[in-house]
Amino acid sequence: MTPSVDEFAHEAREFLGSLTRDRGDVTATKPVKSRYALFSGSTDDELAAALDYQRAIFDAGFGWIAGPVEDGGAGLPPQYERAFAKVERGFPIPSKGPLSVSLGMVAPTLAQFGSPEAKSKWLKGLRRADVVGCQLFSEPAAGSDLAAVRTKATRENADGDWTLNGQKVWTSGAHYSQVGIALTRTSDGPRHKNLTAFAVDMTAPGVEVRPLRQITGAADFNEVFLTDVVVPDAHRLGEVGAGWQVAIAMLMHERNAIGGSSSGGSGLFRMDDLAAWISDLGRGDDPVVVEAFAKVYSGVTSAKAMRARADANLKANGVPGPEMSLGKLALTANLQALSDLVSVVLGPRLIGDTGAPQSFAWSELVLSVPGMRIGGGTDEIHRNTVAERFLGLPKDKQKYTQTPMTQTSSDADK
C-alpha cells in the first residue's frame, strides 16, 4: 500500500535522523564553514561521503523515488521526491556536489534515450552511486557552439561497433567517473543533423583523463582524450544523426539541476542563517546591508516560485523544458546578489584572513561568481533560449559576413 505524502515524509525523517546519528562523520550541529566556493573541487573524503550517503538512501528506498520500479526506482509520484528533498534540507547530510552531474544529468538522459542494454548496464548503478557519470560535450573549439564538436565516431559497417576519436574539455568529475555521455560527429551532413550521442565506458582502452589544475589548487575539471575507443552500438543514445536532440535534452536536465540551486538548493541561500550572521556582526541596522539582504531574499523567493512552475511543467511533460534556462539565469543573478551582500557586510575583512569565522571564508565565492556566467551554458545562450523558445520571439536571421581575417557561419538555421 502506498503511504501518503505525510507518512512518507515521516518515514524519511525517521530514517535520516537515525542515519545522521549513527555516522560519526556527520554531526547534529551545523559546522562553521572555513570556505565558501563554487569551483572548489571535491576531496576524496567528500566524494566518499557522497557515495556512501547515496547508497544508504537508495537502499532505504529514497535514492530514486520517482524512478520506474523495473529500473530500480521506487515508482512513486514526483511530489514524494519533493517531500523527501524538503525533509533532507533539515539534516546535516554530506554535500551531493560530487554527484550533481551523475544524478542530475547523466542518469536522466540515459533513462530517456538509452537502449535496454545500456540502461541495464548503467542506470541502477548511477542511481545507487555504484557508478558515477560525466558529460563529454565541450571541446577546445566547441563550447557555446556545441554543434561544432569535432570528436568523430565511425564504424566499418551498418551493424558494427563505433570507434571514437577526439578531445573533450572542462569535463567535471571525469577523474572519478565510470561512464560518460559523449556528443560526436558521425557524418558530414547538415548542421545539427550530423551528430550522435553515446554512453562511453570511461575505463575502456583509449580513454585518457587529464585533470586541469585550477588557481585554487583544486582540479574539478578535466580534459579527456578518446583514441580509437570502441563503443558498442547498443550504447548509442537515440538514433544515428539525432544526437542534437539528446544534447538538448541533457542540457535541459543540466539546467533543471542547476536551477534548483537558485532557490536555495545549494545551501548558500539559507536566509535565516544569513540574517543571524549579519546580526552577530552588528550590521543588521545598516540600511545598505538591509537593502542588499532584501535583494537576495527577493531573488531567492522569486526563484522558488519560478521553480514551482518549472516542476509543474516537468510533471506534465515528463522532461524539462526551455524554462529551465530561467533557473540558470536566476542562479547567476542570486549569486551576484549574495556576493554583493557579503562584500558590503564584511568590507576589508573579506580579503584579509584574520581568523575571524565566516569572513575571509567568503572571498573565494566572491571571486568565483563570474564563472557561473559561463558554467552550465553562458548567460547569453540562456537569454537566447528564453527569448526564442519560451517567449516565442523571432530568431536573428542576420548572416555573418566573411572578411579577410575571419570566416564564420550563421546559426540562424538551428
Q: Is residue 100 part of a domain?
A: no
pTM: 0.79
> What pairs with residue 139 in β-bridges?
142
pLDDT of residue 211: 93
The one catalytic residue among 81, 139, 223, 254: 254
- Radius of gyration for the chain, computed over Cα atoms and rounded to the nearest angstrom: 22
Q: Which 3 state secondary structure label does DSSP give 148?
A: helix
pLDDT of residue 321: 66
Q: Select from 183, 213, 242 the last residue of a domain.
A: 242
pLDDT of residue 173: 93
Torsion of CA 110, 111, 117, 120, to 10 degrees: 110
pLDDT of residue 25: 43
Q: Is residue 125 part of a domain?
A: no
User: The domain containing residue 276 runs over which residues?
Assistant: 263-391
pLDDT of residue 261: 53
Same domain, 235 and 322: no
Q: Is residue 308 part of a domain?
A: yes
Same domain, 284 and 348: yes
| CATH number of the CATH domain containing 230 | 2.40.110.10
Spatial separation of the C-alpha atoms in residues 50 and 48, rounded to whole Å: 5
Q: Select from 176, 207, 242 the last residue of a domain.
A: 242
Same domain, 300 and 331: yes
In degrees and rounded to multiples of 5, residue 360 shows phi and psi of -60, -20
Q: Is residue 43 part of a domain?
A: no
Same domain, 345 and 380: yes
DSSP string, 220-275: -EEEEEEEEEEE-GGGEESSTTBHHHHHHHHHHHHHHHHHHIIIIITSTT-HHHHH
| CATH number of the CATH domain containing 348 | 1.20.140
Same domain, 224 and 280: no
Same domain, 202 and 295: no
The distance from CA 307 to its chain's CA centroid, rounded to whole angstroms, is 15
Q: Is residue 336 part of a domain?
A: yes
Same domain, 268 and 224: no
- Given the DSSP bridges, would you call strands 133-136 and 179-185 parallel, antiparallel or unpaired? parallel
Same domain, 295 and 353: yes
pLDDT of residue 402: 42
Same domain, 380 and 335: yes
Closest among 284, 405, 408, 262 to 329, alpha carbons compared: 262
- Look up 139 and say whether it is catalytic: no
Q: Which 3 state secondary structure label does DSSP give 212?
A: strand
pLDDT of residue 24: 47
pLDDT of residue 266: 56
Grid cell at residue 252: 535541459
Same domain, 230 and 268: no
CB neighbourhood size of 218 (10 A): 16
Same domain, 236 and 320: no
In order along its 414 residues, the chain shows pLDDT tens digits of 789 999 999 999 999 999 987 654 443 344 456 667 777 667 889 899 999 999 999 999 999 999 999 888 999 998 898 899 889 988 888 888 899 899 999 999 999 999 999 999 999 999 999 999 999 999 998 877 889 999 999 997 877 899 999 999 999 999 999 999 999 999 998 999 999 999 999 999 999 999 998 776 778 889 999 999 999 999 999 999 999 999 988 988 887 676 555 444 556 888 998 999 999 999 999 999 999 999 999 999 998 888 777 767 766 666 666 677 788 888 899 999 999 999 999 999 998 888 777 888 898 889 888 888 887 778 888 888 888 877 888 887 655 444 433 333 333 333
Count of domains observed in the chain: 2
Q: Is residue 45 part of a domain?
A: no
Q: Is residue 24 part of a domain?
A: no
Spatial separation of the C-alpha atoms in residues 57 and 53, rounded to whole Å: 6
Q: Select from 242, 274, 301 the last residue of a domain.
A: 242
pLDDT of residue 259: 57
Q: Is residue 323 part of a domain?
A: yes
Same domain, 274 and 384: yes
